[in-house]
Structure 1
Amino acid sequence: MHDFLVRLHFSEAGIQLIFNILGALAILVIGMWLAARLANVAMRAMQRANIDSTLSGFLRNAINGVLIVLLVVMALQQLGVPSAPLIAALSTAGLAIGLALQGSLSNLAWGVLLIVFRPFKVGDFITAAGVDGTVEGINLMHTLLVLPDNREAIVPNGKIGADAIVNFNRRGVRRFEVKLGIAYKDDVGKAMATVQALFAADARILRTPAPGIWTESLGVGAVNLVIRAYTKIDDLWPAQTDLLRAIKERFEADGISIPVPQRELTVVQGAPLVPPQA
């Protein structure tokens, strides 16, 4: 009778173990299928919300990974493995990995923020982390800038997020500023009217905000004027270059001179030489 009870006990334990293993496998198989479906649903929702494809792909994988970890914990619980020590071990491992990858995680976090809040986009000319360049690519870890001389700079997102970002393209228009001087003998009002006429003749110079010319200072040998005008981004340098050329030509035609710095040197004949000081 005793032997029969022992065999019955072992058979029940074996059957229970088999059921536990099958249950754990069912949790993993069905759970992973559902996790993939839920992650895909979340990704499609982010795409409909016009979230950047790089960020939506990363979040999709992150959601899927978290769900798989939960499934593994549930499967181990089904097999009778205590979950508290496992969760503690995972937490410790996560902390260690986080400390080891602190710089990379900072870049990753700032990459997510840059993609979500979009302080700049591909094609913008920016100053970020002390680097001037055109944005060619933004990913979760770094931003690729093309410098004005066609060199490439790979700037970590953590450095960009920790510093000021200057976006030269975001508002669509830019202001240029030109300073020049005219001789004291020339008519300041006439010079200013000439520049205003050149503003009106150039369709690239915007009427709003209005361009202007002002007397900045009475300098040594010249009346200093400052010119400010707004253009669209693509017209900035051509409009400024053409305006400077037109000002020079019109000033020459109207008899308005643009003086250059001069220095007078007076030589006194017969002056005694001063010996150098010891």
Structure 2
Amino acid sequence: MNDSALQAAKAQIEAACAVAGKPVIRTFFDEPTFTATHVVHDPVTRRAAIIDSVLDFDQAAGRTSHASADAIIAYVHEQKLTVDWLLETHAHADHLSDAPYLQQQLGGMLVIGREIVTVQNVFAGIFNEPTSFARDGSQFDRLMSDGETFAIGNLGAIALHVPGHTPACLAYVIGDAVFVGDTLFMPDYGSARADFPGGDARTLFRSIRRLMQLPDETRVFLCHDYKAPGRETYVWETTIGAERTGNVHVHDGVSEDDFGTMREARDKTLGMPRLILPSIQVNIRAGHLPEPEANGVSYLKLPLNLL
């Protein structure tokens, strides 16, 4: 992670906050997986990006469907948007991505962080993937590195590498907003777990503190919300200032050691995410199902007594 990338992101946000033309953001919340999918567009050119989509999955029946994605497609058509980007913040362990279906229907370049190759190599071993499974990220259209820039119409965008939850996590700064994936939750809920393969609590702390150097007014959009105790509604938008001063796990004054000790102890009490095994197998393939077998059917593996 380099300081020049962060400085560029800060300058972009400050410029966006000073002028009109901030990104328009519409969020679609999938309650079964507690996932927020964000559609971001430039109000001038109407170019757009879709961040962290959801494939509907009935695990008991082994059936997939596209109701969540179809709602996004209807919105894109209604708003007369052109989708340039399908952005993944990381290889999710709690829901399956529907990026390939959205790409088929709307176009756009499918993007994830360059360190997805690390995740692919780890889980290829866990799932005993065949040699035909590429471990070089080639299932995606573009692998982004820390500080890499792109555009959504007239809106500048910068990728920031924020590992800790997974090695490949990216946050996307778009205009005056940052999309942080699972790195942070709402201030009253805290932070992401860091006990998946390749995760690390102290690395996560450093990534969070890096994000908290962005201007206080930066709009923060989260990938998940689980309703903190005492809160009755789902929320997925806050600000860097609110996170920095009020996050229950990592507000100003919390040290790396304090956070690491808390996060590691807390993670030991957590069960495996309900959809982790199907999700990872699909998401390391950029949302594609495993290759069909001789009978034309795709299968997901369930490793026994391994994890």
Q: Tell me which interval the TM-score lies in, with the shorter structure as reference length.
A: under 0.3
- TM-score, with length taken from structure 1: 0.17
Q: Which has the higher contact order (CA 8 A, sep 6+)?
A: 2
- TM-score, with length taken from structure 2: 0.16
Structure in which a larger fraction of residues adopt helix: 1
| Bigger Rg, structure 1 or 2 | 1
